Chains A and B, each alone.
Chain A
Amino acid sequence: MVTPSKGLPRAFRAYGLAAGCVVLSTLCAHLVQPYGHLADQAMILLLGIVFLSLRSSVRTSVLASVVSIFSFDFFFISPKFALAWSDAESIVTFIAMVVVAAVVSTLSENSRRQEQAARATATRTQALYELNVELSSSRDAQELAAVTGRHLSKLFGGPVSVLLQTPEGTLPPAESSRDRVLSHSAWQRREFTKQTAPSGTSIWMPVVGAHSSLGVIGLKPSQPFELESEQGFLLSACVNQFATAVERVQLAGAVRRTQLEAEAERLRSSLLSAVSHDLKTPLATMIAAGAALIGRTGEIEPKAADEILRSVVSEGERLSRLIHNLLSVTRLESATVELRRTPESVDDIVLSAVERFNGRKVPIVSEIAADLPLISAEPVLLEQVLVNLLENATRYGGAEPAIAVYARAADGSVLVQVEDNGPGIAEHEREKVFEKFYRGQHASKSDGGVGLGLTICRSIIRAHGGRIGVRERAGGGTLVEFTVPFAAAREQLSREASLDS
């Protein structure tokens, strides 16, 4: 950072150096007096002036050159020890000394200033670059504010407060009453506001985006601060970058909301068409079957009656499954869904899902790694994911189905894989199968499926902060795998910690 001049001591140093130079060069000139001409002595004095000019301001150098002239005249030009001269030669020397001092010091001052500016630019570029890197990896406005606050505090010293305008269009209050007044004034007028008090300087900078005012940033810099200075430019540049970043995340949020709304609308219309067809079909069967039996219990063969009743039950179960799925999707897709998470063991969830298939003739192998950490999950929802995946595996498995479930730790999460030996899912379908009401090319028209199973799985896994995807199983078949992050360390309890004696 540029440190501002510190008043007296610095001026003293400059004048001290000047005086030293003059005295030293006069002394040297005096020493060579017995051996040289007057011109040589003038040269030595000039050397002192040049030396000084390289390091001092124009004013100091010119002043020192004038002093040197007097000293030259006083000590070396006859009549010695008197301020008088007679020849034109001396006057030329005098003028040359002043001109040299002025020219050399101007040149050196210029190059010093350029160097300073270049260094300041480099510092500013570096600071802005670092800020930008962190801003671009932040996802929401609060995180952006925290990052910016940290950077500004490092650059300017002192505490920084970032106040972002609320969605209602108000400004959150600053800490002290003085800052509350200042921050509001900066925010409403969109103007840089500064107040110096004995307790320190307080400055407030409005954060203004392309479309609207976004908030204010307050600093209590440890050094005196001017807006029209290198620091001021740096602060403005940082604040501008912050404003751009905030607008970026706000815009992204708006886009996402719009997409969600469009998606919800699409879901509603496809639900309606699914409801009209898939709910009506089993109902029609049940009504027809029941009506066929009324008043004819004596006439119909018991075996045939059983057959009819069985279809009533199976259609009823199909309806029940369908309604359950629709309710799951509706709950999971609603924006307000909040998981009721508890620390869960993966074993319990996998076993519980596999147990549901106990009655079926399909063998399911499960291999769960020992000592998996607990996961933070809503257990019934994860069971639902596994049941849906196993349901698909039994439905689309090979002629002699072989289904396996594996669970192991992978990168801070549990990785669960469900595989079957069926025909597999073609590569171009592997994303689409997760879409609502999409049914793969091997799906049967009459098995009661509506294409919601994998959609539900994806919603549940995403809500848990995991990923789900389809791959080809080595040796043919489908492999669906998903991850769920492990619970926080606080909940990974060892037995020592749990109050046992």
Chain B
Amino acid sequence: MNRSLLLVVEDDPEMRSVVSFTLRNYGYDVREAATGAEALSQIQTRTPDAMLLDLGLPDIDGFVVTACVRQEHEFPIIVLSARGEEQHQVRALDSGANDYVTKPFREGELMARIRAALRRPVPVAERRDLNVGDLRIDSTQRRVFVRGKEVTLTRTEFDLLDTLARNADRVVTHRQILRAVWGAEHVDEVHYLRVYIKLLRTKIEKDPARPTRILTTLGVGYRLVSAEALS
């Protein structure tokens, strides 16, 4: 079996060894780094399949590490941080992280996030059809099917769904969505998003009052759930 290589960047030795131990138990190859500089040089030597990054590193700020890595690499970055406030999550995601897990975390949750992150989608440009569970999005013809039945979406509703689907199973921040759908000058108009998420839910959710596809991460953004993650 081709084992994925994970890079764990964490300055606290106890925490680092516990995380590595757990990951190895789940069959991953693990490399460790205690500082930002060490992490960057490890990536130079061998590119990992994913990185688990602590924000509070002694040398370089975690946000900066994320931004540096993103300039050259596409591999998923999962931020692990004790800073639970949602503005840190938003900042980490906006600077290029794929997911954010707050400490203390539960083992099962962390493993699920890693699995989701490793299931990286194909780049948008190469894709015609997008299947997210029983939701099918035909990007060329801009048509959407739920359980085989076509639903009519307005232009904005389609763009919104498309943006979420391209990032299925990861939280897309409000600003990221607003920039992609409404344009850079509207990144602060969160109320647009609230109205359209509601409209979209009434069209693609079985029970719009109990959404199971488009989930809310309070204060951060929205996440479209794929069938694999649901099961």
Chain A contact residues, CB within 8 Å of chain B: 316-317, 320, 324, 340, 342-345, 347-349, 351-352, 368, 374, 378-380, 383, 487, 491-495, 498-501
Contacts and interface: CB of A to CB of B under 8 A. Distances in A.
Given A494-B195, A501-B154, A351 B190 contact: no
Given A317-B104, A344-B194, A493-B191, A380 B155 contact: no
A465 to B, nearest CB: 18
Nearest to A376: B191
B113 to A, nearest CB: 17
Interface string B74-103: 000000000011110000000000000000
With a 10 A CB-CB cut-off, give which of B86, B194, B199, B210 has the most chain A CB atoms: B194
Interface of B is mostly: helix
Contacts of A492: 191
B58 interface: no
A500 B191 contact: no
B156 A500 contact: yes
Contacts of A487: 191
Given A383-B218, A493-B191, A316 B104 contact: yes
A493 B197 CA distance: 13
A379 B219 contact: yes
A469 to B, nearest CB: 24
6 contacts: A340-B87, A342-B219, A344-B194, A380-B219, A383-B218, A501-B155
A324 B199 CA distance: 35
B71 to A, nearest CB: 29
B104 A320 contact: yes
A378 B157 CA distance: 26
A345 B194 contact: yes
Contacts of B216: 348, 351-352
Contacts of B190: 342-343
B196 interface: yes
B191 A380 contact: no
B209 A500 contact: no
A491 B191 contact: yes
A498 B190 CA distance: 11
A340 B89 CA distance: 14
Interface of B: 84-87, 104, 154-157, 174, 182, 190-192, 194-196, 198-199, 209-211, 216, 218-219
B170 to A, nearest CB: 17
A42 B231 CA distance: 122
Contacts of A380: 85-86, 218-219
B209 A498 contact: no
Contacts of A368: 209
A316 B211 CA distance: 33
Nearest to B87: A340
A495 B195 contact: yes
A499 B190 CA distance: 14
B155 A500 contact: yes
Given A345-B194, A348-B218, A374-B191, A495 B199 contact: yes
A498 B219 contact: no
B192 A498 contact: yes
A491 B194 CA distance: 10
B195 A493 contact: yes
Contacts of B199: 495
A354 to B, nearest CB: 10
Contacts of A495: 195-196, 199
Nearest to B201: A347
Given A317-B104, A351-B210, A380-B219, A498 B156 contact: yes
A317 B106 CA distance: 10
A343 B218 CA distance: 12
Nearest to A352: B218
Contacts of A344: 194
With a 10 A CB-CB cut-off, give which of A487, A491, A494 has the most chain B CB atoms: A491
Nearest to B86: A380
Contacts of A342: 174, 190, 219
Nearest to B191: A343
B218 A498 contact: no
Top-5 shortest CB links A-B:
A343-B191, A379-B218, A348-B216, A491-B191, A500-B156
